[in-house]
Amino acid sequence: MKEIYFNADAGYLEGVVRGYRDGLITKPQYSNLTQCETMDDLKLQLATTDYAPFLQNEPSPISTSTLSARCTDALVAEFQYLQQNSAEPISKFLEYITYGYMIDNVVLLITGTLHERDTHDLLEKCHPLGFFDTMPALCVATTVQDLYNTVMVDSPLAGYFRECLSAEDLNELNIEIIRNTLYKAYLEDFYNYCMACGEPTASIMSEILNFESDRRTVNITINSFGTELSKDDRSKLYPRLGNMYPEAQTRLARVDDMDQVKAILEQYSEYKTMLLGVNLNASSGGVGGNELSLEDRFFIKEVDLNKEAFEQQFHLGVFYAWLRLKEQEIRNIVWVAECISQQQKDKINNYTPIY
């Protein structure tokens, strides 16, 4: 099916998001950021970027947490501008993007309810892009059963809950299982929606979402080592898509260590190259370090895929790709800020470059 939605208004929004992409921090700007000695120096350097309006009223010295929050505010403002000016099918595509954030927010509220915390306070910790109109109603729930019933009725995620979970599943031992179960349903649903959009959105988003599925499959496998999660339950959390679906997923469900994971990944050309120089036992430390972790390589691969999305025109993928690149940029800024504030300048170049 050929896409026909790119009228003048849609073309305008694609131009807007490409402009956002052009505002991403460049290599020379990163070089200036990494030369900063104090957080005030960093704030001054960021005044030359698109983050300037969001930082100008912050008193000095600015903390890393405040810096992260203001950078996120910039991302949210740009995304909400796209939402406010979009019509179908762009508006629906943007709505799908927010579902991942909604899942994290709802899981946070479930965790708070289980621990008998004031969920009203937790609302402030929820990601703004995952906020939906009826979310404050979830804070009224005093039991997990009440919360489940409210989500089932008044949440955009109701279909995923209805399909995958029962109230009995909502317990502290299952928190990460709940998150992964919901995200599996979401990824499969989002993939099907993108395929129905026709070309070139279908092929571009297929590559991106297949990679995301593979990454989640590998991470679920690794994170299950040494836990009580059975191998059969592990396999049920894998999204039913991706380059490794179904053959490699079947094998990953049975592995017991990182060497076996690596052996399976090396059978796929795109991942074999990605694994070169990777220390599977290293924690994430960024590109500039002496050793790359598997997570580092996944971030690099994700950046490359999202940059490639901008090489074609007239498709929805640029909206998703820009958001992911912006999130990586914020991670980079926070990493630099943490190194400065903790006086760990020897690690300051350990970020994932974009442009």
Residue 2 is given by DSSP the state B
Is 19 or 5 the better-scoring residue by pLDDT? 19
What angle separates helix 258-265 from helix 201-224, to the nearest 10 degrees?
Answer: 160
The mean pLDDT value for 302-331 works out to 97
- Domain range summary for the chain, segments of one domain joined by +: 90-196
* pLDDT for position 291: 66
Q: Are 72 and 330 in contact (CB under 8 A)?
A: yes
Query: At 282, is the pLDDT very low, low, confident or very high (cuts 50, 70, 90)?
Result: low
In this prediction, what percent of the chain has a pLDDT beyond 90? Answer: 70
pLDDT over 70 at 259, yes or no? yes
Q: pLDDT, tens digit, for every residue of 149-164?
A: 888 777 899 999 888 8
Is 84 or 168 the better-scoring residue by pLDDT? 84
Q: pLDDT, tens digit, for every residue of 174-187?
A: 889 999 999 999 99
Query: At 92, is the pLDDT very low, low, confident or very high (cuts 50, 70, 90)?
Result: very high
Distant-in-sequence, close-in-space partners of 351: CB < 8 Å, separation ≥ 6: 30, 286, 287, 288, 331, 332, 335, 336
pLDDT over 90 at 147, yes or no? no
pLDDT over 90 at 235, yes or no? yes
Is 176 or 283 the better-scoring residue by pLDDT? 176
pLDDT over 80 at 127, yes or no? yes
pLDDT over 90 at 308, yes or no? yes
* pLDDT for position 281: 64
The mean pLDDT value for 9-16 works out to 88
Beta bridge partners of 292: 278
Query: At 293, is the pLDDT very low, low, confident or very high (cuts 50, 70, 90)?
Result: confident
* pLDDT for position 287: 45
pLDDT over 60 at 290, yes or no? no
* pLDDT for position 288: 45
Q: pLDDT, tens digit, for every residue of 216-233?
A: 999 999 999 999 899 999
To the nearest whole number, what is the mean pLDDT of the chain?
90
Helices (H), the chain: 8-22, 27-34, 39-46, 52-55, 64-84, 90-114, 119-123, 135-138, 144-154, 158-164, 175-196, 201-224, 231-236, 247-252, 258-265, 269-274, 294-308, 317-341
pLDDT over 70 at 4, yes or no? no
The mean pLDDT value for 177-202 works out to 96
In this prediction, what percent of the chain has a pLDDT beyond 70? Answer: 93
pLDDT over 70 at 48, yes or no? yes
Q: Cα-atom radius of gyration of the chain, to the nearest Å?
A: 21
Q: Are 160 and 178 in contact (CB under 8 A)?
A: no
